[in-house]
Amino acid sequence: MARRCASALGVVAVPPQISALLTPEQLLPAATVAALRRRLRAYYRAHRRDLPWRRSRDPYAIWVSEIMLQQTQVDTVVPRYEAFLRRFPSVQAMAAAGEQKICEAWAGLGYYRRARLMHQAALQLVAQGSTTLPAAVAALRALPGIGAYTAGAIASIAFSLPAALVDGNVERLLSRHFALSAPPRSGAGKRLLWGLAERLQSRHAPGELNQALMEVGAMICRPRQPLCGRCPWQRSCRAYAEGEPHAYPTAVAKAPRQKLFVAYAWAVDGDAVWLTRRPRAALWGGLWELPSAQGASAALARAALQARVGPTKQLLGELPHTLTHREVRAQIFAVAAPVQAPDEAWRRSAQPLHAPLHTLARKAIGLVLARARLGEAA
Ligand code: SF4
């Protein structure tokens, strides 16, 4: 990438280590704000993707799309979003459906906690006598599952309130444009990013401005290959002037992941297999899986499983799984089926992959079923 001189472009060059000491007002003077907004909006109007949720100003529809888009790719969300809205077209329809039905409609999107919290929020709204979402950031944030980003998105897009937002795409775009040395998830980084996003906000079409920020972050200022030649902010971008877009956002040193061992029971009962529902307060709370036990080693996890379900027979498979803070090693053992369900958190399932499973449970069941089809196990 060609190195450019920031000062020749009328931009104050700031050494990266200094940027963390500056305030949003110093990094983004009032005289520059209007030009940045204008260039963002012009890009968005000419190049924005035609996505189904962009055709709606319905707060409920915007809410559903924003929750689905957290941690899930746009291409995966598009068909699910339309099907979900056909099945649950309003806050009342979502509240009237049981949590189980919402989780079933969520299948394929992952991170089911988002669906459960959305259902709780719908119940809360209906209990308050509301037919839609509130038109205020503080009231939105008081609902389960709605954080600062989602509240900003709903408030600005659905209600035209000048509310700022910062998602991963905005983080990257702002970190590079202003060459921020503070990691985005650090206290200093968050303060700077939110401060800059607030300074960029305007009373005129705030939803459009936020969507323009996210669109340029997603489509132009891409993580691996930023398209600086097509960027509306290239002339004033400090990372581009340094020739170092990839140096931003800066990273925080990660703590090593904890190791966790899980033993699963594969208890076949006729044409079904036994599943259990995890306790609400636990990791993957409320989702289904094979009966399980955990331990600090594979042997301890197996011993704990035997204490729960009886003797284990052969090992049917094992697999690794990585969580944000944990490295999981799972083993699946054949066991005898229980004579009857030990409690209401147990059930037989002839189609276990259709149950609302967490990701590791889905992988474990898929592994045993695939091997059974190949005649290797079960
Ligand atoms: Fe990102 Fe390049 Fe645009 Fe700078 S010029 S904001 S690095 S795409």
Question: How many Å apart are CA 364 and CA 353, to the nearest integer?
Answer: 10
What residue owns the CA closest to ligand 1's atom 7?
245
**With 0-12 CB in 10 A as exposed, 13-18 as middle and 19+ as buried, what is 211?**
buried
Mutate to test the pocket of ligand 1, among 28, 228, 244 (most ligand atoms within 8 A of CB): 228
Q: Helices (DSSP H) in the chain: which residue ranges? A: 16-19, 24-27, 30-47, 59-69, 74-87, 91-96, 99-105, 113-127, 137-141, 148-159, 168-177, 187-200, 206-219, 238-242, 298-309, 359-373
How far, in Å, is the centroid of ligand 1 from the Cα of 160? 27
How far, in Å, is the centroid of ligand 1 from the Cα of 248? 10
Question: Which atom of ligand 1 lies nearest, measured to the CA of 232?
Answer: 3
Q: 144: cis peptide before it, omega within 30°? A: no
Question: Quick one: pLDDT at residue 9?
Answer: 39
What residue owns the CA closest to ligand 1's atom 1?
221
For residue range 266-276, what is the model confidence (pLDDT) as tens digits?
Answer: 999 999 999 99
How far, in Å, is the centroid of ligand 1 from the Cα of 226? 6
- Count of residues making up the chain: 378
Q: Which two tokens stand for residue 351?
A: 């189609």
What residue owns the CA closest to ligand 1's atom 6?
177
Q: CB under 6 Å to ligand 1: residues?
A: 173, 176-177, 220-221, 226, 228, 231, 233-234, 237, 239-240, 245
Question: Quick one: pLDDT at residue 336?
Answer: 95
Backbone φ and ψ for 48, nearest 5 degrees, come out as -65, 145
How far, in Å, is the centroid of ligand 1 from the Cα of 217? 9
Backbone φ and ψ for 243, nearest 5 degrees, come out as 75, 20
∠ CA 197-202-206 to the nearest 5 degrees?
85
How far, in Å, is the centroid of ligand 1 from the Cα of 48? 17
Mutate to test the pocket of ligand 1, among 27, 171, 221 (most ligand atoms within 8 A of CB): 221
pTM reported for the whole predicted model: 0.71
Question: Quick one: pLDDT at residue 343?
Answer: 86
**Is there a contact between 276 and 262 (Cβ–Cβ < 8 Å)?**
no
**Which residues, including other chains, have CB under 8 Å from residue 152's CB and lie 6 or more apart?**
137, 163, 164, 165, 166, 210
Distance of CA 177 to the CA centre of its chain: 24
Question: Quick one: pLDDT at residue 319?
Answer: 96
| Average predicted confidence (pLDDT) for the chain | 91
Q: Helices (DSSP H) in 128-262: which residue ranges? A: 137-141, 148-159, 168-177, 187-200, 206-219, 238-242
Question: Quick one: pLDDT at residue 142?
Answer: 97
Active site residues: 66
For residue range 54-82, what is the model confidence (pLDDT) as tens digits?
Answer: 999 999 999 999 999 998 899 999 999 99
Place of tokens 């921020």: 180
Question: Which atom of ligand 1 lies nearest, measured to the CA of 173?
Answer: 6
What residue owns the CA closest to ligand 1's atom 5?
234
Question: Which atom of ligand 1 lies nearest, measured to the CA of 238?
Answer: 4
**Is there a contact between 245 and 1 (Cβ–Cβ < 8 Å)?**
yes
Question: Which atom of ligand 1 lies nearest, measured to the CA of 237?
Answer: 4
How far, in Å, is the centroid of ligand 1 from the Cα of 215? 13
Which segments in the chain show pLDDT lower than 50? Answer: 1-12, 377-378
Question: Quick one: pLDDT at residue 340?
Answer: 86
